[in-house]
Structure 1
Amino acid sequence: MMADIEHKTDRPTAHKEDRHFVTALARGLEVLACFRGGDTALTNQEIAQRCKLPRSTVSRLTMTLTKLGYLIHLEDSGRYRLGTACLALGSSILARLDVRKMARPLMQELAEFSGGTVSLGMRDRLSMLYIESCRGPGALALTLDVGSRIPLATSAIGRAWLALASARERLDAMEQVRELDDVAWPQIRRGIEEGIEDHRALGVTCSFGDWQKDVNGMARAFQPGGGLPVMAINVGGPSSSLSKEFLLEEVKPRLLRVVAQLEEGNVSLR
């Protein structure tokens, strides 16, 4: 269910009431955003289904994006994959995030100690987008890397972001999640509320089998400063090697020290 939600939640909120909102531009960006880390290429039909747009509209958008270099058309299959113009944009942003440079050695040390995966993420609509990731010796089973997305509402790192976000941002995100699945919403809301309380009382949010039943994780959100948005760092891995007790008793103090060092640092977006 949450895998489906992850695709649907990345649709931008309607802004028809805003005369400055350019719908055609939003749809074009929506097409680019529908590609995921595991996607090699997509057809117009697949893009239309993910974006909930008419296929004729998608055909015009993909043709335009191809001419601009944001998509590449594979003539033998009729599919599209992301082009080098997207790579240039992403690389430019990542290169300017000083917080990644500061965080990486600290994260790698934590990954080596925990044996799990340690990732730095920021919100992208209703997903958390990994912008840095380090693996410990036992983390091969969890192959999330830079550019990976996980759901905002059910992951430890997403709940950490919700815990530190402004009240307006949090309520807006929660309302969007509710609109996607009214049936599952009460359980999802309880998880979010528990995560916010854990972040306040324990210093971290936890997800023990909530995102994936055999994955444990915890996270801490922080304000990196320098005009950057709220970010969060998580530690996660298979529940068989990262028990709840180990994470809370051994890993949590080290995670909190990592975050404290980043908050004290002078990070910026140059």
Structure 2
Amino acid sequence: MTDRKFANTLARGLSVLRAFRVSDNGLTRTELVVRTGLAPATITRLTHTLLELGYLSQYGNMLRLGPATFALSSVAGASSSFLDIAEAPLQSLADRTKTLLVLSVPDATSMTVVRTWRPKDVASVWLEPGNRIPIADSSTGLAYLAALNNARFEKLESREDWRDLRGEGRGQLARQGYTFVQGSARYTQSMNAVAHPFHASTLGEPVVFTCGATPEMLSDKRIAEEVGPALREFVRDLELQTGAPRTYEETQRRIP
């Protein structure tokens, strides 16, 4: 990062907090080294500081998210009122399409899953909050890049590699109203997915809703004829209910 205003220590500390997943019953410092890619000495310093501030708690040699993180998450949840409106329709969409519905937010070169809605009585692909989806080669990442305004896109570290992807995503949204990375171009062959960005009026940049399932359950044909259009209409309805921006031009006026 060449930005002189960028606080690397803060970024590393936040990467420690982002390393935790819902299924974790605590992490050791060694596991944090593996997940963050940071040096052991750096992890030692950062975890000591986060423990002192209450963002981590320690049980034996295991570290867990501390009470201070709950305060932050409760404030963030309260400010994301669109989820209150969308909760029941999202579960209904998951049940109707028999897909796992995922809400993802940007996190460096990946999208981090923050909420999931599993279809009832249907075996679905396994993702949970805290899992990461790469921006490159995923329908989710394509939707995110397509939704960024010019100023925000220029701040991305990998923007030169992603210019063509951004153009492809915008083209797909204009033509069909959703993004879809097909076949061998997908980052994983075990999941087929279709995505659409959403600009919540209370957030500073787009988030992404994604419907996913195994290719056997979610064929390209189902995406084109059923699931893609259903996701597109869901997001449009949510935009109307929340007053969220609906065009790139409107997004650029609202987001600095």
TM-score higher than 0.5 here? yes
- Does residue 203 of structure 1 match 2:177? yes
Aligned to 1:166: 149
Name structure 2 gaps, 5 residues minimum.
245-256
- Equivalence map 1:1-270=2 (5 Å): 13=1, 15=3, 17-18=4-5, 21-75=6-60, 78-137=61-120, 139-173=122-156, 175=158, 193-209=167-183, 210-226=186-202, 228-266=204-242
Q: How far 1:150 moved relative to its partner?
A: 1.7
Q: How far 1:99 moved relative to its partner?
A: 1.0
Whether contact under 8 Å (1:205, 1:218) holds in the other structure is yes
Aligned residues: 242
Q: How far 1:168 moved relative to its partner?
A: 3.9
Whether contact under 8 Å (1:45, 1:55) holds in the other structure is yes
The SS at the match of 1:199 is helix
The SS at the match of 1:207 is coil
Counterparts of 2:157 and 2:13, CA distance in 1: 25
Name structure 1 gaps, 5 residues minimum.
1-12, 179-187
Whether contact under 8 Å (2:145, 2:165) holds in the other structure is no
Q: How far 1:116 moved relative to its partner?
A: 0.6
Counterparts of 1:86 and 1:140, CA distance in 2: 32
Structure 1 residues 52 and 142, CA gap change in structure 2 (3 angstroms): closer
Q: Per-residue CA shift, 1:59-80, capped at 9, x if unaligned?
A: 12212211222222232xx232
Cα RMSD between the aligned structures? 2.8
Counterparts of 1:62 and 1:95, CA distance in 2: 28
User: Aligned partner of 1:252: which letter?
Assistant: G
Counterparts of 1:232 and 1:199, CA distance in 2: 13
Structure 1 residues 32 and 106, CA gap change in structure 2 (3 angstroms): same
Counterparts of 1:79 and 1:250, CA distance in 2: 45
Whether contact under 8 Å (1:121, 1:233) holds in the other structure is yes
Q: Per-residue CA shift, 1:215-249, capped at 9, x if unaligned?
A: 11111113232454212211111111111101111
Whether contact under 8 Å (2:80, 2:203) holds in the other structure is no
Q: How far 1:43 moved relative to its partner?
A: 2.9
Counterparts of 1:138 and 1:197, CA distance in 2: 36
Higher relative contact order (CA 8 A, sep 6+): 1
Structure 1 residues 266 and 47, CA gap change in structure 2 (3 angstroms): same
Q: Per-residue CA shift, 1:41-74, capped at 9, x if unaligned?
A: 3333343344444322321221221122222223
Structure 1 residues 116 and 177, CA gap change in structure 2 (3 angstroms): farther
